[in-house]
């Protein structure tokens, strides 16, 4: 029998109705995925049940979609380790960035069961850290969420992107090519289910960047973008106030408390991430043509030409 964390009655009902999950068939679905992985000589990846079911649920039990997503998940990590690979939790630089609280999944879901992640894009000094370092640090948080947060995997994720301290220097770090890589990884490799992206405390120069970013997303994701300026009431209309941290007028733990929670969580996953660094793909052993990411990411230039000063 599959070694899986049991779902609450509500989540199991949602998985059946929304994701085509058939509880009695889970062991055979997982076995089919494991058999495929064993047959791929280029894949050296994690195969525990809790990890793999995240991909099945994230792909609504389409085995072919789950295979494609797993392939891209590890291929991108191998090709761009400085962006997508998880960090050693004992790396002092990693802890330094983590403790800034740039990206935090909240411990509690919304009343209707959706997970919330808050990204505070301007809390790091753009002169001291690169956007690549920030995104790489976020991979550890996302991986634990993938492993532990059934709400994120089944009911989806609401993202709040707080730009209150973001400056032109932060946006200049984000080239179109880099943004495209991040977008493809988030949409085509990670099995968490994005439901909405709420931009809050947006600076005056946000609009041209937003207009450049939007076409990179699928039509479905474009329809899930919402800009609130600095209007908290507008945000509350979309995200339940009681589910937000105290810092946003809500009733959940403060950002400081949530950041401390994630810092402690990394200690629990120390051995897990030491293992994770060893997983990936060997393109020399891949049958057929490799995934053409270079063509997919063929965007040059930066946002320096934009008037963001």
Residue 224: the pLDDT is 87
For 144, residues 6+ apart whose C-beta sits below 8 A from its C-beta are 265, 269
Cβ(30)–Cβ(2) under 8 Å? Answer: yes
Indicate if 148 and 223 belong to the same structural domain: yes
Asked if the structure places residue 308 within a domain, the reply is no
* Residue 7 placed within a domain: no
pLDDT of residue 41: 96
Same domain, 212 and 66: no
Give the span between the Cα atoms of 137 and 83, in whole angstroms.
9
| The pLDDT of residue 87 | 95
* Domain at 93, CATH number: 3.40.525.10
**C-alpha dihedral over 74, 78, 83, 88, to 10 degrees?**
90
pLDDT at residue 301, as a whole number = 45
Domain count, the chain: 2
Mean pLDDT by 10 residues, the chain (309 residues): 84 97 97 97 96 97 97 95 95 97 94 95 93 95 96 96 90 84 91 92 82 80 88 92 94 96 97 95 90 63 42
Q: Are 136 and 176 in contact (CB under 8 A)?
A: no
Residue 117 counted as domain residue: yes
- Closest residue by Cα to residue 102 from 126, 83, 86: 126
129, 228: one domain: yes
> Do 107 and 233 fall within a single domain?
yes
β-pairing, 43-44 vs 280-281, is: antiparallel
Q: 76 exposed, middle or buried (CB, 10 Å; 0-12, 13-18, 19+)?
A: buried
Cα Rg, the chain, nearest whole Å: 19
Write out the two tokens for 139.
């991979």
Contact predicate 7/15, CB 8 Å = yes
Phi and psi at residue 113, to the nearest 5° = 90, 10
Q: Are residues 102 and 185 in the same domain?
A: yes
Using CA atoms of 110, 192, 10, 260 in order, give the dihedral in degrees to the nearest 10. -50
- Whether residue 1 is contained in a domain is answered as no
Q: What's the pLDDT score for residue 240? A: 92
- Closest C-alpha to 104, from 65, 66, 60, 140: 140
Same domain, 79 and 91: no
Distance (Å, whole) CA 110 – CA 93: 32
What per-residue confidence (pLDDT) applies to 146?
95
Please state, in angstroms and rounded to a whole number, the distance separating the CA atoms of residues 170 and 130.
Answer: 9
Q: Looking at the structure, tell me whether residues 284 and 178 fall in a common domain.
A: no
Please give the pLDDT value at position 107. Answer: 86
The answer to whether 194 and 186 are in contact (CB under 8 A) is yes
229/60 Cα distance (integer angstroms)? 34
Beta partners for residue 173, in sequence order: none
What pLDDT does 297 receive?
64
307 in a structural domain: no
Residue 306 lies in a domain: no
Whether residue 169 is found in the same domain as residue 29: no
Model pTM?
Answer: 0.90
Shared domain for 29 and 150, answered yes or no, is no
Mark whether 236 and 94 lie in a shared domain.
yes
pLDDT at position 174 is 81
- Pair (221, 259) in one structural domain: yes
* Residue 287 maps to a domain: yes
Q: Is 95 exposed, middle or buried (0-12, 13-18, 19+ CB in 10 A)?
A: middle
The whole domain housing 150 covers: 87-268
Whether residues 78 and 102 fall in one domain: no
* Domain contains 22: yes
């Amino acid at each position: 029998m599959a070694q899986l964390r049991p779902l609450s009655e509500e989540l199991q009902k949602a998985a059946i109705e929304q994701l085509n999950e058939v509880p009695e068939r889970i062991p055979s679905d997982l076995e089919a995925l494991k058999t495929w992985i064993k047959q791929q000589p280029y894949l050296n990846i994690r195969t525990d049940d809790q990890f793999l079911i995240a991909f099945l649920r994230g792909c609504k039990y389409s085995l072919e979609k789950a295979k494609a997503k797993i392939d891209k998940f590890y291929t991108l990590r191998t090709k761009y380790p400085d962006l997508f690979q998880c960090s050693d939790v004992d790396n002092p630089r990693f802890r330094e960035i983590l403790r800034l609280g740039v990206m935090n999944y909240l411990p509690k879901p919304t009343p209707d069961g959706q997970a919330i992640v808050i990204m505070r894009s301007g809390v790091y000094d753009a002169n001291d850290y690169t956007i690549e370092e920030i995104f790489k640090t976020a991979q550890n948080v996302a991986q634990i969420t993938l492993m532990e947060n059934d709400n994120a995997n089944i009911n989806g994720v609401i993202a709040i992107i707080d730009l209150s301290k973001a400056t032109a220097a932060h946006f200049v770090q984000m080239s179109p090519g880099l943004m495209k890589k991040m977008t493809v990884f988030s949409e085509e490799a990670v099995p968490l289910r994005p439901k909405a992206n709420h931009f809050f405390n947006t600076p005056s120069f946000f609009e041209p960047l937003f207009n450049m970013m939007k076409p990179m997303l699928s039509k479905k994701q474009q329809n899930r973008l919402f800009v609130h300026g600095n209007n908290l009431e507008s945000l509350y209309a979309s995200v339940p106030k009681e589910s937000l941290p105290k810092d946003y007028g809500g009733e959940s733990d403060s950002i400081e408390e949530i950041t401390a929670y994630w810092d402690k969580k990394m200690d629990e996953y120390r051995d897990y991430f030491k293992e994770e660094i060893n997983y990936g793909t060997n393109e020399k052993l891949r049958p057929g043509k490799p995934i053409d990411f270079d063509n997919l990411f063929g965007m040059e230039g930066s946002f320096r030409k934009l008037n963001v000063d």
